[in-house]
């Protein structure tokens, strides 16, 4: 949402209105008239506050008679700065010093290797200085300053290729502007007789000036004129046999009908830039508010987005890796009990396999462990405690406690199954028993080596 103040400067008054733009639609907040000779700046600011306007910028329309409008031709030079060429031509076409001028131009015709035809619009800088001071006192900044009849003619619009003439009549003069495809190509301001003194003469004068305006156009442009729109105050009766006449100006949706004296203020308030610039703007270039650099902002936004994506890629990869690792950890945790059970089963199988191999070895050597255990039970004294017993291919190994460990050697040597009994570690004495560890080999069969 934005508010725009439209002002039309007349000789002794300042016509104004506030237009609020929102979502592509315009709505009129209010109109007012101020005395231009009585420091209107503070009064303008007060009226804006009464209307609840938050406008920062103002669009100003000036009378056609306070400006110079002229179509000029420039030589066709490739790559030249047209604005510098127009500035060089100002001295030939202005009735005042170029140093005291504010100007702008529109390109009318630009063909390769042909002279460039432009419409020059200029005004005196002191007029701009006066307007700028009024706006400064009201807390506003001038964004656009245009010729009133030009803004009204653009508001009338027109289809591509269609031409029209827009006439605005006031008490003592008429302003005329010719357009082609909505673009102003010529304009004039002419005096009119007073309506009260000679109504018929006023009508004849206006009809003659319209005819003169048409005759000043090129034949091609004159053939495109589809209608003539006449608006304003004290419009005389016309005896006209040319293109159709209209007495109403089409207004955009959302804008109610306004008085004819307010048309320039309304038209300039509704002015929109084309391709980032207004068709004509008499505000000096160095004083124009800079438009928001959308292209630069878009480029910067794309650069920032690229950097963010480049920076986010490692982070996204790391997050995905962490999620994958977390999923794997959860899967491993779920499989851990099964793995432990399998490991235990493998250990049991391996232990059983070793025991089976030992038993098979005993069987191959005709060694029977159970008879040996029965024999040891019968041979060893009753006070002997065995804590471990192991047997393999080479013999047996015993560990335990006995009242007298030394007497065990001859007892085992006397066994028909075992021989070469010996202690594998020193005998240690306890309070009432001796701890021992000994081994004995299998007795070899008779005749064996």
369-442 CATH fold = Gyrase A; domain 2 (3.30.1360)
Do the Cβ atoms of 166 and 154 come closer than 8 Å? no
- pLDDT, averaged per 10 consecutive residues of the chain (449 residues), comes to 90 90 84 89 93 92 94 83 89 91 90 87 93 94 93 82 89 91 91 84 91 90 89 86 86 76 90 82 83 76 89 87 91 91 92 79 65 82 86 84 86 84 86 86 66
Residue-level pLDDT at 421: 86
Which listed CATH number (3.30.420.380, 3.20.20.370, 3.50.50.60, 3.40.640.10) goes with 1-156+252-291? 3.30.420.380
23: left (phi over 0), alpha (psi -120 to 50) or beta: left
> φ, ψ for residue 123 (rounded to 5)?
-150, 170
Residue-level pLDDT at 278: 85
Residue-level pLDDT at 59: 95
Residue-level pLDDT at 362: 63
Do the Cβ atoms of 435 and 401 come closer than 8 Å? yes
Residue-level pLDDT at 172: 86
Residue-level pLDDT at 445: 65
Q: Quickly count: other Cβ atoms within 10 Å of residue 91's Cβ.
A: 11
The pTM of the full predicted model, rounded to 2 decimals, is: 0.66
Among 201, 204, 202, 227, residue whose Cα is nearest residue 214 = 227
Q: Inter-axis angle of helices 125-137 and 40-50, to 10 degrees? A: 50
- Residues 158-249, CATH architecture: 2-Layer Sandwich (3.30)
Residue-level pLDDT at 365: 59
- 3-class SS at 239? coil
CA distances from 155 to 19, 22, 92, 403 (A): 15, 19, 31, 130
């Amino acid at each position: 949402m934005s508010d725009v103040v439209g002002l039309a400067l007349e000789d002794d008054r300042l016509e104004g209105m506030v237009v609020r733009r929102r979502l592509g639609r315009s709505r009129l907040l209010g109109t007012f008239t101020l005395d231009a000779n009585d420091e209107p700046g503070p009064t303008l600011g007060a009226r804006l506050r009464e209307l609840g306007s938050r406008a920062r910028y103002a669009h100003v329309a000036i009378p056609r008679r306070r400006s110079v409008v002229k179509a000029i031709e420039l030589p066709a030079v490739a790559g030249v700065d047209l604005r510098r060429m127009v500035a060089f031509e100002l001295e030939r076409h202005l009735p005042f010093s170029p140093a005291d001028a504010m100007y702008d131009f529109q390109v009318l015709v630009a063909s390769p290797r042909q002279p460039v035809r432009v419409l020059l619009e200029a005004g005196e800088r002191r007029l701009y200085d006066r307007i700028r001071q009024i706006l400064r006192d009201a807390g506003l900044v001038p964004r656009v300053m245009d010729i009133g009849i030009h803004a009204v003619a653009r508001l009338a619009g027109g289809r591509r290729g269609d031409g029209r003439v827009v006439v605005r009549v006031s008490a003592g003069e008429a302003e005329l502007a010719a357009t082609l495809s909505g673009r102003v190509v010529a304009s004039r301001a002419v005096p009119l007789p007073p309506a009260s003194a000679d109504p018929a003469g006023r009508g004849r004068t206006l009809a003659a000036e319209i005819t003169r305006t048409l005759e000043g156009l090129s034949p091609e442009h004159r053939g495109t004129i589809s209608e003539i729109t006449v608006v304003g105050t004290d419009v005389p009766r016309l005896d006209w046999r040319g293109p159709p006449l209209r007495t109403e100006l089409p207004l955009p949706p959302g804008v109610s009908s306004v008085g004819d004296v307010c048309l320039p203020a309304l038209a300039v308030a509704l002015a929109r830039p084309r391709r980032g610039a207004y068709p004509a703007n008499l505000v000096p270039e160095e004083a124009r508010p800079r438009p928001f650099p959308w292209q630069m902002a878009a480029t910067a936004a794309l650069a920032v987005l690229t950097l963010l994506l480049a920076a986010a890629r490692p982070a996204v990869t790391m997050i995905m890796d962490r999620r994958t690792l977390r999923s794997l950890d959860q899967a491993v945790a779920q499989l851990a009990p099964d793995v432990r059970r399998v490991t235990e089963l493998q250990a049991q199988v391996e232990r059983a396999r070793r025991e089976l191999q030992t038993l098979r070895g005993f069987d191959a050597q005709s060694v029977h462990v159970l008879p040996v255990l029965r024999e040891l039970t019968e041979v060893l004294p009753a006070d002997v405690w065995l804590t471990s017993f192991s047997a393999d291919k080479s013999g047996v190994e015993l560990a335990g406690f006995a009242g007298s460990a030394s007497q065990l050697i001859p007892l085992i040597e006397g066994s028909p199954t075992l021989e070469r009994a010996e202690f594998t570690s020193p005998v240690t004495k306890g309070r009432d028993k001796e701890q021992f560890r000994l081994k004995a080999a299998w007795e070899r069969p008779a005749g064996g080596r």
